Structure 1
Amino acid sequence: MKARLDIAGATVGLIAVALSLTPSLLPRPAWGQGFVSGLAFAVGYGIGVVAWRGIARLSRGRLPAAAEAQVWIVALIGLVGAAVIMPFAIGWQNSVREAVGMPDTSGFDWLVAGIGYLLGAWLAFAIGNGVARGYRRLHALVEPRMPWRETRPRAHTTMTGAGTVVAMLAVFSIGLSLLSFLLTVASESKNRQYDPEYPQPTSALRSGSEESLIAWDQVGQAGAKIVGGGPTRDEIAAVTGLDAMDPIRVYVGVDVPGSFEERAALAVEELERTGAADRSVLMIAGTTGSGWLDPAAIDGFEYLHAGDTALVAMQYGATGSPISAILTPDLSQDGTTALVEAVTAWWEGLPEGDRPQLVVYGLSLGSFGIQSAYSDVNDLLASTEGAVLAGTPSFTPVWSAAQDARDAGSPYSLPVLEEGLHVRWADAWGGLETLDGPWEETRIAYLQHGTDPIVWIGPSVIWSEPAWLQEGQRSASVSNDMVWIPVVTAFQGMIDLILSTAVPEDAGHKYGNVAVDALHQVTGDAGLSDEAMARVRTVIEAYDTFSPVAN
């Protein structure tokens, strides 16, 4: 018997492939584009098959239950379709690459994409077949045990189907809980595996040291990099040309016993122990899901102030941000809010004329956590003396309200609020200084690249055109060829988030050096000359660039 494929399924699958090639926020690696297109074909194929069978059933026999053809016929149609769409696809992808300053794709890249396509399609079909077999087995297991099997024969089909659905939902719920548990266990295990490049600090100004109230084995993997890293007093002095101090870094790991409030109280005790009240600037930093902080931002902060700083952060979990945001979003809110409230209360108790400048900083899920501690922008302005918030997730209420309150005529991608009097937005170094009016203290700086899927992709993108893609609202860094497509744009944004990490520093979800500029504008500096500031920027731009997606 010759192999056959469903024509309706293949047709919808090819349409799905075409849609997967349309431009999105960020360029994807060739293998990633191919893999996504392969998945798209398999998913589209399944939708096409189901849809045709539904139509055939409604036709009551006038249409065949399956519209099949030999594989070679479908493959030929697919090759013709690919030949037609390929020039458009190359142009679309190159328009995205040009928008973020990357070179055009080459023909060999598309060979790699073809291999990825085959793997993606194979994987999706394998998963689909596995789900189908699981459904049939579950149905066979559930159906004989339904109480209405003998007593309500007419409702047999409907009720057994309902019973199977209930059973599948129960299995899914149990599976999701099990997955969450396993991921948490794995993350906690990884959290205790320290990088030998970051030894236990010897300075009493660091958590995890011998003098610290927090044991070294309780700061965690991410915390060890924070308290064990960063510039020393001599390194800061060499770059700035100023007499420098060793910065204070307080970090409370997730392995410290107690509630969030008890850990936050311990963080305050550490601030008191290290003499943080005598420093010029105190930063409360919101961490990502794993407890990570961008080294470029926090190191740059210490260079700006010649080490006369104190940083405090608290780990609320050990799983990466995407998993944490989906499975345990309350941890970021509750943990960071507890820290903010405890440190702010301590700071407010210090003599008003003789206390550090209080600023807050957060990147990605860390930005979400920081803003969760405040009711709105006015509360943030009243409770701090500055804020730098980068790559804020689209589901952050304070950010969303600020975006919606923008001045008339200002674009959604980079709003202006009250002529930039206290709150400003930027997507590049120097962007905070482009407005003509005064920027008074207290200052809040939002950093958001026009190509950052974390900032722009939310559930509403599935069914409605987002403001950031509309004429006059979109960023210049977004490809002109990108248009909103229901469901597809949201799916592409999620793929961008997962696959598009190899992008320049001024694109996507990377904000390291831009954050240093924002911190400079918001917190000032220790009297750096223009030459010293240029050296600081040179040092920070040499850092490895990180996207906090997996952190």
Structure 2
Amino acid sequence: MVKVVRIGSRLDIAGAAVGLAAVAVSLTPSLLPRPAWGQGLVSGLAFGVGYGIGVLAWRGIARLSRGRLPQAAEARAWIVALIGVAGAAVIMPFAVDWQNSVREAVGMPATDGFDWLVAALAFAAGSWLAFAIGRGVAAGYRRLWALISPRMPGQETRPRLARAGSGAATVVAMLVVFSVGLSVLSWLLTLASEHANRQYDPEYVQPTSALRSGSPDSLVPWEQIGQAGVKIVAGGPTADEIELVTGVEAQEPIRVYVGVDVPGSFEEKAQLAVDELERTGAADRSILMIAGTTGSGWLDPAAIDGFEYLHAGDTAIVSLQYGATGSPVSALLTPELSQDGTTALVDAVTAWWNELPADDRPQLVVYGLSLGSFGIQSAYDDIDDLRASTQGAVLAGTPSFTPVWSAAQDARDAGSPYPLPVLDEGLEVRWSDAWGGLETLTGPWEPTRVAYLQHGNDPIVWIGPRVIWSKPEWLEDGQRSEQVSEDMVWIPVVTAFQGVIDLILSTAVPEDAGHKYGNLAVDGLHQVTGDAGLSDEAVERVRFVIEQYDTFSPVSN
């Protein structure tokens, strides 16, 4: 049994050896640089997991030896700690160099070391957590075994078969308990998120313009807009601000938003969004954007504000909040909400748009970031369906589990790199990881354009379950992005393990790296949707304004 380590306790030698090896491996570079607490946490978790694996592996070997090897050999914890410190002294110079190679790849200055106290505390927390989870799983297994095994038939006549049956039944029971616990956790998180969704930031007040949902004229009450929604309908540039930046006459932008607290099915909420578009006169605008939200209902203000600047406010943006939990929780526990809610909105708005006169209706485009990109693409069968149903798409930081994106990646032209593919010489779909990247291909680009924005070091895009057991294509020779450290190598299980921490840190990087796409989205929207006849100088002023925005986190939203 794996026990929680206490001062003065003894440690299994096999477990400690594998644990220390896991710590050394955890120091190798990944997609994004890790601060001291992040590295400490990763190494602590690695030690705990490695320790458990080492103990189990040795006990299995000992059993196969039929008594020739002892079940366990132990040493005092302080001896293991001294060995670990000595090993750290040897490997840390390499670890610092590895981290600096990652920092250089994302455009961050080099560091000369770690905050050792913070790293040590995080290591202790990580290892304690791993040991506690291991101890809990072991205790749960023993209790279920004690409950099931006496009731298993064949104890006297076929004892081996009975033991095997008891073990299988115990594993099944643990999976059932885990599933029930996950469902309860999802329910509790949803309740907490819904409560938080009703706590509005006092900085954002109810809009008075009839062009905004939540206003006195709106079909969507202010009280049902939600925490994320109020920042959208009560934010954004005014017509005067747009004129000041662009130098052209501007209109007040239309923003339609239906919060999760609005009663009814997704289809009913989507129809309400269409009614809001009609009420606000969206059919008379030059361009209409269907924007897919993240898990909490959030939209990147840099992207949607930049869109309105580019088109001098002659715009309408429509969104539907399908949930209130952050994207990581939503993607893990309730991914169907993003699919169902966004698809209902896309279907309703597209059907309404198709009924408008073909020669007198707004340009229809779709936009999504992160889980919003996943939701938008879930509304279409493939790229051809997306292009046939819209007049442009900008999709940023698409999660690795998105089928339409995966199919487009795999269909790339021979010889083009996986991180930035080329499909049909860029005729319909293009990829970019930097401002101006969509223009690097010199061939024609059809008027109905799809732009994928993805940084080579964005873990949301590249880290998925397959990384656990299979070397990803984006780390193969000739496929590696320049935004990924040359020192990064694929290690089974470990790379995925590091990627989990990278997911947490995916916005703790400069604006042109990780999971941050606000500025780049403006370039994508400009290339896909054009502008209101702005001069090059005006476009640069728009870019400058958007670059001054505060850093926002699509990961936690």
Identify if the C-alpha distance between structure 1 residues 113 and 24 changes in structure 2 by more than 3 Å, giving closer, same or farther: same
SS at 2:170's partner residue?
Answer: helix
Give the distance between the partners of 1:468 and 1:27, measured in 2 at CA. 18
Aligned residue identity for 2:253: P
Give the distance between the partners of 1:137 and 1:404, measured in 2 at CA. 47
Give the distance between the partners of 2:281 and 2:78, measured in 1 at CA. 75
Give the distance between the partners of 1:318 and 1:514, measured in 2 at CA. 26
Find out whether 1:42 has 2:62 as its counterpart. Answer: no
What's 2:426 paired with?
420
SS at 1:415's partner residue?
Answer: coil
Give the distance between the partners of 1:252 and 1:31, measured in 2 at CA. 39
**Unaligned regions of 5+ residues in structure 1, if any?**
none
Contact kept in structure 1, 2:105 and 2:484, CA below 8 Å: yes
Of 24, 45, 48, the residue aligned with 1:18 is 24
Of 92, 106, 118, the residue aligned with 1:112 is 118
Find out whether 1:169 has 2:192 as its counterpart. Answer: no
Of 354, 364, 370, the residue aligned with 1:364 is 370
Give the distance between the partners of 2:223 and 2:389, measured in 1 at CA. 33
What's 2:75 paired with?
69
Contact kept in structure 1, 2:36 and 2:114, CA below 8 Å: no
Give the distance between the partners of 2:477 and 2:123, measured in 1 at CA. 34
Q: How does 1:303-318 map to 2 (within 5 A)?
A: 303-318=309-324
Give the distance between the partners of 1:163 and 1:445, measured in 2 at CA. 50
Find out whether 1:389 has 2:361 as its counterpart. Answer: no
What's 1:257 paired with?
263
What's 2:246 paired with?
240
Contact kept in structure 1, 2:506 and 2:515, CA below 8 Å: no
Deviation at 1:153, TM superposition (A): 5.8
Deviation at 1:457, TM superposition (A): 1.2
What's 1:445 paired with?
451
Give the distance between the partners of 1:462 and 1:412, measured in 2 at CA. 19
Contact kept in structure 2, 1:359 and 1:387, CA below 8 Å: yes
Contact kept in structure 1, 2:96 and 2:113, CA below 8 Å: no
Deviation at 1:129, TM superposition (A): 2.4
Contact kept in structure 2, 1:29 and 1:500, CA below 8 Å: no
Give the distance between the partners of 1:302 and 1:499, measured in 2 at CA. 30
Q: How does 1:120-199 map to 2 (within 5 A)?
A: 120-144=126-150, 155-199=161-205
Give the distance between the partners of 2:372 and 2:253, measured in 1 at CA. 21
Identify if the C-alpha distance between structure 1 residues 443 and 154 changes in structure 2 by more than 3 Å, giving closer, same or farther: closer
Identify if the C-alpha distance between structure 1 residues 150 and 187 changes in structure 2 by more than 3 Å, giving closer, same or farther: farther
What's 1:411 paired with?
417
Aligned residues: 551
SS at 1:9's partner residue?
Answer: helix
What's 1:463 paired with?
469
Give the distance between the partners of 1:373 and 1:154, measured in 2 at CA. 52
Find out whether 1:487 has 2:484 as its counterpart. Answer: no
Alignment RMSD, CA only? 1.7
Aligned residue identity for 2:173: A
Deviation at 1:155, TM superposition (A): 4.9
Of 65, 75, 87, the residue aligned with 1:59 is 65
Contact kept in structure 1, 2:8 and 2:78, CA below 8 Å: no
Give the distance between the partners of 1:108 and 1:81, measured in 2 at CA. 16
Contact kept in structure 1, 2:153 and 2:162, CA below 8 Å: no
Give the distance between the partners of 1:394 and 1:206, measured in 2 at CA. 34
Deviation at 1:145, TM superposition (A): 5.2
Q: What TM-score do you get using the length of structure 1 for normalisation?
A: 0.97
Moved more, 316-325 or 267-276: 316-325
Contact kept in structure 1, 2:367 and 2:376, CA below 8 Å: yes
Q: Deviations over 1:142-195 (max 9, x none)?
A: 445556668876655334433433332222121111011111111111111111
What's 2:229 paired with?
223
Identify if the C-alpha distance between structure 1 residues 3 and 323 changes in structure 2 by more than 3 Å, giving closer, same or farther: closer
What's 2:333 paired with?
327
Identify if the C-alpha distance between structure 1 residues 167 and 402 changes in structure 2 by more than 3 Å, giving closer, same or farther: closer
Q: Deviations over 1:66-103 (max 9, x none)?
A: 12123333223222222221121111111101111112
Of 526, 532, 535, the residue aligned with 1:526 is 532
Contact kept in structure 1, 2:205 and 2:234, CA below 8 Å: yes
Give the distance between the partners of 2:159 and 2:433, measured in 1 at CA. 65
Give the distance between the partners of 2:261 and 2:517, measured in 1 at CA. 29
Q: Deviations over 1:101-137 (max 9, x none)?
A: 1122233524422221122112222332233333333
SS at 2:138's partner residue?
Answer: helix
**Unaligned regions of 5+ residues in structure 2, if any?**
1-6
Aligned residue identity for 1:355: R
What's 2:293 paired with?
287
Find out whether 1:8 has 2:14 as its counterpart. Answer: yes
Give the distance between the partners of 1:122 and 1:403, measured in 2 at CA. 40
Find out whether 1:83 has 2:81 as its counterpart. Answer: no
Aligned residue identity for 1:533: V
Find out whether 1:347 has 2:347 as its counterpart. Answer: no
Aligned residue identity for 1:467: E
Deviation at 1:217, TM superposition (A): 1.0
Contact kept in structure 1, 2:458 and 2:506, CA below 8 Å: no
Aligned residue identity for 1:514: L
Deviation at 1:141, TM superposition (A): 4.1
Task: Tell me the percent identity.
Answer: 81
Deviation at 1:547, TM superposition (A): 2.8
What's 1:211 paired with?
217
Contact kept in structure 2, 1:29 and 1:499, CA below 8 Å: no
Moved more, 491-500 or 406-415: 491-500
Aligned residue identity for 1:508: G
SS at 2:115's partner residue?
Answer: helix
Contact kept in structure 2, 1:248 and 1:274, CA below 8 Å: yes
Give the distance between the partners of 1:358 and 1:40, measured in 2 at CA. 48
Q: Deviations over 1:445-486 (max 9, x none)?
A: 110000001111122222221111112211101000011111
Q: What TM-score do you get using the length of structure 2 for normalisation?
A: 0.96
